[in-house]
Chains A and B, each alone.
Chain A
Amino acid sequence: MDVTRREFLKCAAASSALMAIGGPLAFAATEQPVDKWVKGVCRFCGTGCGVMVGVKNKQAVTVKGDPNNHNGGFLCLKGALMTPIIYAKERLTQPLIRKNGELVEASWDEALDLTASKFKDAIKKDGPRSVAYYGSGQALTEETYLASKIFKAGLKSNNVEGNPRLCMASAVGGYVTTYGKDEPCGSFSDIDAATCFFLIGTNTSECHPILFKRIAARKQSDPNVKVIVVDPRKTNTARIADIHVGFVPGTDLAIMNAMAYVIIQEELDDYRFHSRYVSFMDNKKNKLTFEDYKKFLEDYTPEKAEKLSGVPAATIRKIAMIFAESSATMSLWCMGLNQRIRGVWANNLVSNLHLLTGQIGKPGATPFSLTGQPNACGGVRDTGGLSHLLPAGRLIKKKKHRNEVEFLWGMEPDSLNPKPGYHTIALFDALGKGKVKALLILCTNPAQSLPNVNKYREAMARKDNFIAVIECFRDAETLKFADVVFPAAFWCEREGVYGCSERRYALIGKAIDPPGQARPSVNILVDLAKRIGVDPKLVPFKDSSDIWEEWRRVAKSTPYNFWGITRDRLRKESGILWPCPTEDHPGTEIRYVRGKDPNIPKDYPKKYDFYGKPDHRAVIWFRPYKGAAEEPDKEYPFVLTTGRVIDHWHTGTMTMKVPELRRSFPKAYVEINDKDAKKMGIQNGDNVLLTTRRDKMVFQARVSDVCRPGLVFVPWFDVNLMINKLTKDAFDPGSKQPEFKICATKVSKV
């Protein structure tokens, strides 16, 4: 009854509007109610907002936030404008094969057989190390698990990598070295309880908008909540900050050590906590003492840090005191710390501050690493989709772990390849040197997203290698180098699970059918594996829910316990946080605390248990300050940093399909500090040439005070102005994650 009245009212309103303005637009305002709502998760960032897809006449016509998920029904601008992407004219609907330099339409059998034969040939001729898989933090959990299994178990090749190496590897390294296990100890719900936010190396406002909203709302609800933003750029995130700390890019390691110095000097450390639950270690893994730590920190007095970082010593003192004195401090960080040659160290240093002050394991007090992609945290890190990992936190180089997985996968003991595969940069390097002959790329766009991309585009362009790509859009840059392209079902066109930043796994329901001949990637992978000759017993999967069942079994006996997260529960509930050992377990918001973390026995004698470490103690690492791989000098005096704008996501293959988002930022630009601009006579809109040791490119200038002097920023979404041609491919020796965030550049007006 209500609906009819609503429709009547709307028609009346529409017709009066039509009379008033005229034109066809007035009709657009009368959207009819949809046939059904299908629960899912946003396709974009690591916030992982719950989304309901409105389906009408078998078409996805609108979306709305899922009120039962952590986002409480809210979506950011990208999430709210998702539907046009599904129906973009660039969608791939048929397999393509490169013939005489052109990608031409082909049948599924042709494309699959060709790919299978190329993989078989490569393995026969050059061994399993000559084939590789390059996946994505945007693929479904099931897809990554399956691909990893096909390559590691089926083809005996550990060359299983993915773009999370470019995005989260340092966070993994940080968590594993400090706590022994990957993934955050806290959850998003800590935001509602925190009294101090320490945001470092994250532009939360533009990259995780709904989390930023939650932080802002927390701040609004209690004016005593402090927000500290540590970022060389004064981004929109800094708008709600009590203190914005701008610093010389790359010197944050010194700042955090100086904060630790102040905390100890002011006796704000929690001795009871760190004497019971923390061990101290230097870079050589020598066990040391608290006294040694104090001695180590003497090199990092706030005054010394000021000289390096340009941050006044008084400011460092102040933020250290706020950090330590607040009742619950939550740190959030993202690519600013991860995409660095000392990314792991930077991650360790944040945890150091929390372990020193005991700001951990209490509601609101937690070190929380944000993930860039919707399923890097979950799907790739947890399922072991990297070249050194096996599922559920197991390592390839550990025999015990290999044997466990062999048993679970029904393989002969010691049949897995014990040698880790190439990490991402090494993989594309090997491709360039002809050591990798056949590569399967799923749901990612390395021809735009790799650092120093010219070099790796050359590698991909080699005539003697074979590249197959599973993609949704025909304009993705990587397709230029593909020999075979498989059209994939997009987002809500197939069912599957995404796991966001906070260990929360949620199901994307199937709302609509894929276009043309496009298929779910899971089916493509299984079909391909069988044709390559992988034992069918290894891939007995009809669809993604079969894989989910196996994944639950494989993870069950580990601290990554998914046993209670059944497919049925996922269909009913809006996301569950692991560890979740039983079907009636509500999920775990806080790890490593007795009574909260199901991995800790109820009668454990202590409150905290860092069970990832053999001595059950987390580690405070002595990590010295070390600069970037390429510091600015006389010839290249500026620091170039890259990042995102809120309107675009990653390489823009999706957001560029939404007219509003495309028109909001049609092309990349360079952001320059106003004082620098004045010195060089650059005005808003002028053309500016950026030159690094690798390449040069012209951008339009945006002059503002967002960047500090000496720093320029370019977003990386634009395929026509590919900033990654200029970035450097130096990487962290531990995590192998490249340093996208810092390289030296020349800036000149043209």
Chain B
Amino acid sequence: MISFSSVWFRWGKWFIILPLVLIAILGVIFFIYVNLAFPETRCEFVTHLESPDAAADCFECHLKCTPKIAQDWYESKHGVILVKCFVCHGQPDGKGSVPYAVDPDVDGTCRKCHDPSINRMEHLYGLELNCNKCHPFHQNSLHHKAYVKPIAKKKIE
């Protein structure tokens, strides 16, 4: 007699392994499909690995893979005066001189230029470790209206 437990013992692990393998295969197929069908929307991670010596030319690629964020930067004050991505975010592989971070470190990064305002904010509203909370970096309306020039808002192809 074959008990339930022995069936489970012999075949049960496949109930877990097979779906996982399937998901992995589908994932790879999807990845290849996206890469071939939309050559310019490639996975950014791949780009970072492919050409680390150009990894700081973030804008070029992010205009394609995260166009909203790239365009927001382009229109912002930082964009007009060319404070490029890496100044605040560092390098994706962590090999930059600025620590790689989505939310830049207030003391290590933001203070380089905004020390007086940070002190003022701290005095007014208390200690806050993330400027982003009140000043969303890439959707700051102040930034959008930065330099009131039609050309500054021109969409770039």
Cβ-defined contact, A223 with B82, below 8 A: no
A213 to B100, CA, bound (A): 26
A413 at interface (Cβ–Cβ under 8 A)? no
A65 touches B113 (CB 8 A): yes
CB nearest neighbor in A for B148: A223
| Chain B count of residues within 8 A CB distance of the other chain | 41
Choice from B81, B100, B147, B152 contacting A25 with Cβ under 8 Å: B100
Q: Report A-chain residues with C-beta under 8 Å of the C-beta of B101.
A: 25, 28-29
A660 and B91 contact, Cβ closer than 8 Å, known pairs A63-B112, A212-B81 = yes
B97 interface residue per 8 A CB criterion: yes
Q: Select from chain A the residue with minimum beta-carbon distance to B100.
A: A25
- B window 98-124: CB within 8 A of A: 98-101, 105, 107-108, 111-116
B-contact 0/1 string along A626-669, CB 8 Å cutoff: 00000000000000000000110000000000111111111000
How far is B51's CA from A1's CA once the two chains are assembled, in angstroms?
A: 46
Q: Is B73 an interface residue (CB 8 A)?
A: no
Query: Which B-chain residue is minimally distant from A210 (CB atoms)?
Result: B81
Interchain CB contact (< 8 A) of B97 among A2, A6, A33, A658: A658
Closest-by-CB residue of B relative to A220 is B147
- Chain B residues 32 to 83 lying within 8 A of chain A, measured CB to CB, are 52-57, 77, 80-83
In angstroms, Cα B99 to Cα A33, docked, is 16
A236 contacts the other chain (CB 8 A): yes
Question: Closest chain A residue to B88 by CB distance?
Answer: A80
B129 pairs with A84, CB closer than 8 A: no
B80 touches A240 (CB 8 A): yes
What's the nearest-Cβ distance from chain B to residue A689, in Å? 22
Whether B95 pairs with A659 at a CB distance below 8 angstroms is yes
Residue among B83, B98, B112, B129 with the highest chain A CB neighbour number at 10 A = B112
Docked Cα-Cα span, A185 to B81, in Å, equals 27
- Closest chain-A Cβ to B24's Cβ sits at a distance in Å of 22
A80 to B116, alpha carbons, bound, how many Å? 16
Which of A68-76, A324-332, A430-438, A440-448 contacts its partner? A68-76
Q: Chain A's nearest CB lies how many Å from the CB of B127?
A: 6
Among residues of A, the one whose C-beta sits closest to the C-beta of B149 is: A240
Please determine whether A239 and B108 come into contact, CB atoms closer than 8 angstroms: no
Q: A9-B127, A31-B108, A76-B83 are in contact. Are A84 and B149 (CB under 8 A)?
A: no
Q: Is the CB of B147 within 8 A of A219?
A: yes
User: Is A288 at the interface (CB under 8 A from chain B)?
Assistant: no
Kindly name the residue among B56, B91, B127 whose own CB sees the greatest number of chain A CB atoms within 10 A: B56
- Residues of chain B with a CB closer than 8 A to A733's CB: none
* A62 with B81: CB separation less than 8 A: no
Find out whether the CB atom of A239 lies under 8 angstroms from the CB atom of B90.
Answer: no
For A664, what are the chain B residues with a Cβ–Cβ distance below 8 Å?
56-57, 84, 86
| Residue from B107, B116, B152 whose CB has the most chain A CB atoms within 10 Å | B107
B107 A73 Cβ-Cβ under 8 A: no
With known contacts A9-B127, A65-B115, A663–B55 Cβ distance under 8 A: yes
Would you call B87 an interface residue if the criterion is a C-beta within 8 Å of the partner chain's C-beta atoms?
Answer: yes
A25 to B94, CA, bound (A): 7
Distance A83 CA – B147 CA, assembled complex (angstroms): 31
Which residues from chain B contact A659 at a C-beta distance below 8 Å?
56, 91, 95-97
Most chain B CB neighbours (cut-off 10 Å) among A29, A81, A646: A29
14 CB < 8 A contacts A-B: A10-B129, A13-B129, A25-B99, A76-B81, A77-B86, A77-B87, A81-B98, A83-B97, A209-B81, A216-B81, A241-B151, A661-B56, A664-B57, A664-B84
- Could you list 9 further interchain pairs (A-B, Cβ under 8 angstroms) beyond the known A65-B113, A659-B96? A6-B127, A10-B107, A74-B113, A75-B112, A80-B113, A213-B81, A239-B149, A659-B91, A660-B98
